[in-house]
Structure formats: structure tokens, C-alpha cells
């Protein structure tokens, strides 16, 4: 397998929505009498699956069924908040079109549940760019475990060493590192300094207008 592949996280990487995820989480917990500081909450949870965040904060005595219902409630709140603001990050469409023209295999690997994937990829007409879409429902363990990126590479028929992951969160970059993949960081939600510890990061940019498909392929 020598096929080159670009694998994109979705939230914060294809769309600039992480502030709305944090806002909806804080509102969800506030309704239950739990208060969290926004920046600390974001840093602790960005990239994790909703059910993992809930399990971590509500404990092991809550049933899986209740966790699933609570996650669905929180995600409905998020979609209500973010819906009017939905848009792909600057330059994204042109960048993935250029990558496709050069024969790069494209996939999404996200911690999002199915309804949020539809909300973003289908309702913004972005799914057409991707040969594979892997979400929270498709893997047992969320980021920083590498499962979601490895499954995306497998579906594309690409070797992990020939994949570049696009991420906005340290947990996601760590998942890429564990998968044996290089990473490009989009600084929608955290500054470049937050990624200083990662040796698999090859580029840090504000948006896709700052990226060249040719330069990234050369890095492989």
C-alpha cells in the first residue's frame, strides 16, 4: 500500500464549532447543578467522545442507556446552538478538491456521533469529498486511542505511514501519533504552543488557505 491519504477530524477541523460544543456542555451540566470553567473543561475534553465525557463526570453507576440518552440530549442542545453558524473553515473546500485532483485518498475520522456527522457533513454537502467516514459509533475507544484513525486508513486502503491527519486538539494529535501518522494542526481552538510536545506535527496553520497539497505530500 503506497496510497497517500489525508484524514480529517471533523469538529474544530472541518468546521470551527468547538466553542459551541463547550458552551452546550456547560449549559447541560449547569441544568444539573454542576459548574465547570470553560477553558479547563475544553482542554480536558476536546477530542473525546460524548459518552466518555459523561462517564468520566457522572461515574460508573449510571447505566449505559442513561449515558446514551444524556449524550443525545447534550448533542441536540449543541446542534440548536451551532446550527445558525455552520460553515466550513476558510479554504477547506478548495484544499480537499486540490487533494482529490492529485489522487489523495480522503476520509473523516471523528469522535462525533451519527446525528452530528449528518448535521455537519451532509447538511453542509461535504460528505461528497470523502471515500470513508468513521465516527464514534464505529470504534470502541475514542481519542487519544488511535482506533478511529487506523479504521479510516484501513477503509481507504492506506498505510498509516502514508497518512496525514488534520486536527485541532492535542488529544487528536496524540491519537494520530499512536497510529503512526503525521499531523497538521488547525489553530481554531488552541494556540500553536499547545502542540509543542508532539514530534508528529509537520505544520500548524490558521486555516486551509495556508496549506499546499504538494508541500504536504513532499513531507510524506
Catalytic residues, by residue number, are: 9
User: Rounded to an integer, what distance in angstroms lies between the CA atom of residue 76 and that of residue 143?
Assistant: 22
Q: Per residue in 71-107, is it b (16+ CB within 10 Å) or e — as a string?
A: beebbebbbebbeeeeebbbbbbebbebbbeeebbbb
Q: What is the DSSP string of 6-37?
A: EEE--BTTTB--HHHHHHHHHHHHHTTT----
Contact present, 137 and 113 (Cβ < 8 Å): yes
70 to 73, 100, 116, 200, 215: CA distances (angstroms): 5, 38, 15, 35, 43
C-alpha cell at 113: 456521533
Amino acid at each position: 500500500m503506497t496510497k497517500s491519504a489525508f484524514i480529517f477530524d471533523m469538529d474544530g477541523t472541518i468546521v470551527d464549532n468547538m466553542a459551541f460544543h463547550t458552551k452546550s456542555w456547560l449549559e447541560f451540566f449547569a441544568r444539573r447543578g454542576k459548574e465547570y470553567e470553560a477553558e479547563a473543561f475544553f482542554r480536558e475534553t476536546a477530542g473525546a467522545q460524548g459518552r466518555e465525557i459523561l462517564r468520566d463526570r457522572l461515574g460508573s453507576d449510571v447505566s449505559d442507556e442513561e449515558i446514551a440518552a444524556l449524550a443525545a440530549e447534550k448533542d441536540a442542545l449543541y446542534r440548536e446552538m451551532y446550527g445558525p453558524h455552520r460553515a466550513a473553515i476558510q479554504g477547506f473546500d478548495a484544499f480537499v478538491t486540490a487533494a482529490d485532483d492529485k489522487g489523495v485518498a480522503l476520509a473523516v475520522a471523528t469522535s462525533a456521533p451519527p446525528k452530528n456527522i449528518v448535521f455537519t457533513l451532509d447538511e453542509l454537502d461535504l460528505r461528497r469529498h470523502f471515500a470513508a467516514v468513521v465516527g464514534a459509533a464505529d470504534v470502541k475507544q475514542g481519542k487519544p486511542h488511535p482506533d478511529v484513525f487506523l479504521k479510516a486508513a484501513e477503509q481507504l486502503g492506506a498505510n498509516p505511514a502514508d497518512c496525514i491527519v488534520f486536527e485541532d486538539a492535542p488529544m487528536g494529535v496524540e491519537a494520530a501519533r499512536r497510529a503512526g501518522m503525521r499531523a497538521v494542526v488547525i489553530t481554531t481552538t488552541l494556540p500553536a504552543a499547545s502542540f509543542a510536545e508532539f514530534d508528529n506535527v509537520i505544520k500548524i496553520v490558521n486555516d486551509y488557505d495556508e496549506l499546499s497539497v504538494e508541500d504536504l505530500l513532499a513531507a510524506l
